[in-house]
Structure 1
Amino acid sequence: MQGLSLNTMVLNNSLFNYLLALLFLLIVYGVIKLFDRFILARMNLLIKKFSTSFAILLRKIIKKRAYPLLYILAIYLAVHQLSVVNRAARFINYILMILTVILTVLALLDLLVYSLKKYWQKRQQSYEQQKLLGATVFLIKTLVWIIAALFILDNLNIEITGLVTGLGIGGVAIAFAAQNILTDLFNYITIFFDKPFDIGDFIITGDYKGSIEHIGIKTTRIRSLSGEEIIISNTDLVNSRINNYKRMQKRRINFSFGLTYNTSLEKLKKVPQLVQEIITSLDKTEFDRAHFAEYASSSLLFQVVYYVTDSDYKLYMDIQEQINFALKEKFNQLGIEFAFPTQTIYLANQSEQILNQEVSTVENSRGEN
């Protein structure tokens, strides 16, 4: 009996080819075991210092996604070292391709869902936002799996042009049927990610103003200053201009007051410095300017500009009230009076004109007589 050699043929393959195929499997198995024992644990400890949840995710992706992909690669290389019937070879390649796509999609979805959830956790989650997270994850998974299925069908040499066309027409029909709902949903997503306002912010949009109480999937609710609830669709909000006063870092205040015309020049010159001292003595204020602006119809008009380094409207009103009280107190001490609308009628001149007219009338009457 002739001895076995590496060139001995078994089922149309030499023993050398079988050994080479087995070698690929053993190498991949050995690499995975070495990585799992000496590298993965240390890498896991390092990543846990920054994020425990990401370390758990990475370990899951490596053990459940990457390791099977390596085994699939090893089987693919092993099969290509052997002479296999064409149909069997194609079947094996198709199975390996499908498994590769599935494992790759699962890994990508793991990363994507993890990123979305971490992003959501950084924000205060309402019940609607939690539902939106679930709906968003479902839509993303559906879209990714549809793309993966089309990719698999295309690689299986199945004609997908008609299928893609049908999906496109169906998608357009669904989009038209649910146009308003989808518009509000996408605008809610825009509000959620762009963050033009948050709950509690005081905003003005068009003719409406108030504090944000609730941001829903379809509408946003605003509590107006007079107390009623204003419900505005998200589409209207996204398409309108919004003044968000809560995000104002500091408030610019411009106010004026008038003094009487009999105020002396010496006292007028003291007023700007007096106003500056009052404003700078208060907390959370920045003085800008104070000037004798103009000779108004019934007053000597002063204009003042300062900043409140806080967006709170009540704080601004408290500061303005303190300034008004201080101005009144200081002006009383200096004998300066605030002006108010007045009209001076010179009765003496009018009486003299009337008297002259009466004298002229009497003289004219005598002359005629």
Structure 2
Amino acid sequence: MQKVELTTIFLNNSIENYILAFSFLIIVYFTIRLFDKFLLEKMDILIKKFSRSFSQFLKKLIKKRIYPLLYLLAIYFAFRQLTIISQLDNFVNYFLMILTVILVVLSLSDIISYSIKKYWGKKERNDEQLKVLNVTLFLIKILIWTIALIFVMDNLNIQITGLVTGLGISGIAIAFAAQSILTDLFNYFTIFFDKPFDIGDFIITGEYRGTIEHIGVKTTRIRSLSGEQLIISNTDLVNSRINNYKRMQQRRINFNFGLTYDTPLSKLKKVPGIIEETIKNIDKTEFDRAHFAEFAASSLLFQVVYYVKDSDYKVYMGIQQEINFKLKEKMEELGVDFAFPTQTIHFGNKENLNSNFKNIQELNFEENKS
């Protein structure tokens, strides 16, 4: 009977090689089990203090993706300790490589999906935009799997130069044919992620103004103040300046009014204080300044600046109306009049004026007589 030793050869490998390969698998297995039983739970408790959702995601990622990936790597390195026929060796290498790529792609997909959905959760979105999010994730996954497929084919010694060239030429042709559509599509994603406006926002862009009703893949629909619906391409919106009044924190108001030139100086000096008191007694306002600004053509002009602590246009108009009513009341109590456009004509010689007027009357009389 042959004596079995560590150097004994069995199927082209020594007993020592088999023990090393098996020991490597056992060590990796028990290392993972110990980590899962002791360290993973402690790490999970620590991360939960900062983010419960991230803790759950990381724990799931480790168990579903990282552990199998480590097992595959352990099997790979274990096989490297053994000498096997070239055909079987190539099969094992390719098989493990494909499984490793699949696990890496799944891990990347999970990380990207979690990150985008986490960002999504911090924003208020509607159902339509939720569909866009799902489409975006789908396109990202297609891109990742395409890159992974090309990587696998290249490592399998499959000639992909012609395939990549063909895809590149086809992509360029499609891009040129649908250039405007793709531009609007990319600008839609710009609007989606950058969020210059949301549905319900009142905006002004160029000569157009209105409330956002719908944000589509190619166009955005705006309901104008006069009632009609404006349809503007996403490219035009992204490339233009947009005033978003929905996000305005406060509204700065500047208005003027004039008093007549016969207003006494003593009463004129009281007007700025009356204006300040009037505005400060109205809710949602912040007084800034009131000055006798200039001697205008037909009035003594006052300039007033204040802030409305609300972005609603109706609130502003209600406050301005209340200020106008109270200023009218206060000016009447003060005994001064608001100015209106007037013009005074001064004649140099009254006697010449009367004489000219008399001659015109006589001339008209002679013409009527004849």
TM-score, length-scaled by structure 1: 0.90
Partner of 1:157: 157
Cα separation, partners in 2 of 1:260 and 1:88, compared to 1, 3 Å: same
Tell me what 1:250 maps to: 250
CA distance in 1, matches of 2:267, 2:321: 23
DSSP-derived class of the 2:344 partner: coil
Q: Determine if contact 1:76/1:93 at 8 Å carries over to the other structure.
A: yes
* One-letter amino acid of the structure 2 residue matched with residue 159 of structure 1: Q
Q: Please give the alpha-carbon distance, in whole angstroms, between the structure 2 residues aligned to 1:324 and 1:125.
A: 41
Q: 1:150 to 1:264 in 2, by over 3 A?
A: same
1:62: which partner in 2? Answer: 62
SS of residue in 2 equivalent to 1:249: coil
Aligned to 2:214: 214
- Report the alpha carbon displacement of residue 336 of structure 1 after superposing the two structures with TM: 0.8
Change (3 A) 1:359 1:310: closer
Q: Which amino acid in the other structure matches residue 176 of structure 1?
A: F
Match of 1:3 in 2: 3
Equivalents in 2 of 1:125, 1:39: separation in Å? 38
- Structure 1 pair 358/280, CA: closer, same or farther in 2 (3 Å)? closer
State the 1:63 CA deviation.
2.1
Measure how far apart 1:357 and its partner are: 6.2
TM-superposed deviation, 1:351: 4.1
Inter-partner Cα distance in structure 1 for 2:269 and 2:157: 92
Aligned residue identity for 1:326:
K
Paired residues for 1:1-369 under 5 Å: 1-48=1-48, 51=51, 53-346=53-346, 351-355=350-354
Separation in 2, partners of 1:326, 1:168: 72
1:108 aligned counterpart, secondary structure: helix
Q: CA shift at 1:57, angstroms?
A: 3.1
* CA–CA separation in structure 2 for the residues paired with 1:188 and 1:96: 41
CA distance in 2, matches of 1:237, 1:359: 70
AA aligned opposite 1:140: I
Deviation at 1:124, TM superposition (A): 3.7
Q: Secondary structure at the match of 1:116?
A: helix
Work out the CA distance in 2 between the residues paired with 1:303 and 1:60.
Answer: 66
Aligned counterparts of 1:114 and 1:226: Cα–Cα separation in 2: 44
Check conservation: 1:128, 1:216, Cα contact below 8 A: no
Aligned residues: 359
Asked if the contact 1:44/1:55 (under 8 Å) is kept, the reply is yes
Go from structure 1 to structure 2 and tell me whether the alpha carbon gap of 1:147 and 1:359 turns closer, same or farther (over 3 Å shift).
Answer: closer
Given the two structures, how large is their TM-score scaled by the length of structure 2? 0.90
Bigger mean CA offset, 54-63 vs 230-239: 54-63
State the alpha-carbon separation in 2 of the partners of residues 148 and 159 from structure 1.
Answer: 15
Deviation at 1:50, TM superposition (A): 5.2
Distance 1:355 1:325, change over 3 A: closer
Q: Is the 8 A contact 1:285 1:309 kept in 2?
A: yes
Q: Report the residue type matching 1:8 in the other structure.
A: T
Q: Which residue of 2 aligns with 1:365?
A: none
In percent, how many aligned pairs have the same letter? Answer: 67
Match of 1:364 in 2: none
Distance 2:285 2:191 in 1: 33
Structure 2 Cα separation of the partners of residues 358 and 17 of structure 1: 133
The alignment partner of 2:247 has SS state of coil
Gap regions ≥5 residues in structure 2: 360-370
Structure 1 window deviating more from structure 2 (18-27 vs 169-178): it is 169-178
